[in-house]
């Protein structure tokens, strides 16, 4: 609010000093101040919403790893650990706006995800069901994170 009021006063001073009585002010300065004020408010609101959604989706992924700890097939446990590591790398790279590391981590995540899917047939039915629910949660939330960061 203080910035907007200050910009309004500054714009008013510029308007008063740069206009003659007969002419309308055609200075781009006043329109730029109005544009900056409205643009900034919208950006801040959108960024807050994006950050809160990012935290929500990241938390859901992290919490879902608790559901698939210590499955009966050891190779899948190690691949789930790798999946968790690559997702963590992806989240940190996304937060840092590091597109190169983000793409590397996403590629590694996809490979680990596919390996987990290959191994799931070696699990008992109950564990397969838990793993399938886990994989759906991970894939959904990763897609939502991608959508958020692509739109910001």
pLDDT at position 109:
96
Could you give phi then psi for residue 98, rounded to 5 degrees? -100, 90
Question: Is 38's pLDDT higher than 70?
Answer: no
Band the pLDDT of 135: cuts 50, 70, 90. very high
pLDDT average, residue stretch 52-74: 91
**Who wins on pLDDT, 144 or 4?**
144
3-state SS record for the chain: CHHHHHHHHHHHHHHHHHCCCCCCCCCHHHHHHHHHHHHHHHHHHHHHHHHHHHHHHHHHHHHHHHHHCCCCCHHHHHHHHHHHHHHHHHHHHHHCCCHHHHHHHHHHHHHHHHHHHHHHHHCCHHHHHHHHHHHHHHHHHHHHHHHHHHHC
Question: Is 58's pLDDT higher than 60?
Answer: yes
Of these ranges, 4-8, 26-30, 37-41, 147-151, the one predicted with the greatest mean pLDDT is: 147-151
Least reliable range by pLDDT among 3-12, 60-69, 93-102, 137-146: 3-12
pLDDT average, residue stretch 83-102: 93
pTM: 0.69
Digit-coded pLDDT (tens) for 4-32:
554 455 455 455 555 444 455 555 555 55
Across the chain, mean pLDDT equals 81
Q: Compute CA 147 distance to the chain's CA centroid, rounded to the nearest angstrom.
A: 7
CA–CA gap between residue 145 and residue 89 (Å, rounded): 13
């Amino acid at each position: 609010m203080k910035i907007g009021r200050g910009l309004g006063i500054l714009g008013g001073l510029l308007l008063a000093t740069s206009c003659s009585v007969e002419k309308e002010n055609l200075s781009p300065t006043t329109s730029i101040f109005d544009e900056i004020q409205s643009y900034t408010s919208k950006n801040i609101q959108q960024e807050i919403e994006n950050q809160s959604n990012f935290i929500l989706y990241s938390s859901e992924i992290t919490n879902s790893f608790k559901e698939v700890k210590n499955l009966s097939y050891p190779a899948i446990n190690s691949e789930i650990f790798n999946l968790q590591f690559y997702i963590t790398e992806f989240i940190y790279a996304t937060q840092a706006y590091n597109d190169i590391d983000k793409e590397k981590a996403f590629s590694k995540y996809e490979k680990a995800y596919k390996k987990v899917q290959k191994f799931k047939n070696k699990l008992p039915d109950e564990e397969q069901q838990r793993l399938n629910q886990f994989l759906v949660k991970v894939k959904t939330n990763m897609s939502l994170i991608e959508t958020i960061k692509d739109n910001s």
